[in-house]
Amino acid sequence: MKPGHCLGISMELDKVLFYTGHSGFFMKSEGFTLVIDPYRISDSLKIKADLLLITHAHFDHCSKEDMQKVITGNTEIISSQGCVEDYGFKNTTIIKPGFRHSVRNIDIEAVPAYNTRPERLNFHPKANGWVGYIVAIGGLRIYHAGDTDFIDEMRKLKSLDAALLPAGGTYVMTADEAIEAANAIKPKFAIPMHYKNLLGKAGSEELEDKFREKLGGNALIMKEVDGANVTYKF
């Protein structure tokens, strides 16, 4: 990927995509709010989801406490299996890879997310049917990979404005593996996630520096939102 050619798209992205920490994000377009995998949501962050997407059943992605902070009685919830079935929420759909859904000019596609490395196979088995999502919103195509390794299905992804890639290692891709994935799928921006809680401050800064070094202007480091503001670090 060639660095430094994405300033225009970044100005559009920062109106749509916001980071809440770990692997949590929300997206806004035309008065519609979509939330993915909220975890440790700040009490000062007052967002309510029209649509809530959950990638898989682990506590740092399927947090009932955090989901309750962002849902209303009208929130539509889409989740892979094993997470929200016992929570008593309304308007819930349990899905598998291949699921597609459209609402308010926003298109959702669930794609596979699983481990392939031998040391990680027990964390996110392919047989669980857990997912990532491709979201077309506000004229952008944004890929949230969920918890996954660099899998063959990623190579088929095209025309992505942003790829949100887990990069903390242990349970998901390492930084080097996430960078390899970014080079294969060629999003306009590769955004690391799922690393700060694992690596701590020094390790997180090292990972962010590696993303910038290897991906140049295609690396985008997002800072957690404070209120309604978001900061990007190139």
CATH code of the domain containing 112: 3.60.15.10
Residue 233 inside a domain? The answer is: no
Name, in order, each residue with C-beta under 8 angstroms of 149's C-beta and a sequence gap of 6 or more.
114, 115, 116, 117, 120, 172, 173, 177
State the pLDDT at residue 110: 98
Residue 119 inside a domain? The answer is: yes
State the pLDDT at residue 12: 84
Q: Per-residue b/e over 75-91, b at no fewer than 16 CB within 10 Å?
A: bbbbbbebbbeeeebee
State the pLDDT at residue 10: 66
Residue 171 inside a domain? The answer is: yes
State the pLDDT at residue 5: 39
Residue 94 inside a domain? The answer is: yes
Q: How many domains, in total, are found in the chain?
A: 1
Q: Which amino acid is at 50?
A: D
Residue 2 inside a domain? The answer is: no
User: Residue 10 and residue 75: Cα distance in Å, rounded?
Assistant: 28
Backbone φ, ψ for residue 156 (5° rounding): -90, -5
Quick one: DSSP state of residue 60?
Answer: T
* Structural domain span for residue 181: 7-227
One digit per residue, the tens of pLDDT, for the chain of length 234 reads: 333 334 445 668 988 999 999 999 999 999 999 999 999 998 888 899 999 999 999 999 999 999 999 999 999 999 999 999 999 999 999 999 999 999 999 999 999 999 999 999 999 999 999 999 999 999 999 999 999 999 999 999 999 999 999 999 999 999 999 999 999 999 999 999 999 999 999 999 999 999 999 999 999 999 998 655 554 444
Residue 45 inside a domain? The answer is: yes
Name, in order, each residue with C-beta under 8 angstroms of 2's C-beta and a sequence gap of 6 or more.
216, 217, 218
State the pLDDT at residue 225: 86
Q: Which amino acid is at 173?
A: M
User: Residue 179 and residue 173: Cα distance in Å, rounded?
Assistant: 9
Q: What interhelical angle do 175-185 and 196-215 show, nearest 10?
A: 50
Best CA proximity match to 145, nearest among 106, 170, 112: 112
* C-alpha torsion angle, residues 68, 72, 75, 80 (rounded to 10): 10
Strands (E), the chain: 17-21, 24-29, 32-36, 51-54, 76-80, 92-95, 100-103, 106-112, 131-137, 140-144, 162-166, 189-193, 221-226, 229-233
Residue 117 inside a domain? The answer is: yes
Residue 11 inside a domain? The answer is: yes
State the pLDDT at residue 85: 96
- Read off the tokens for 27: 């997206």
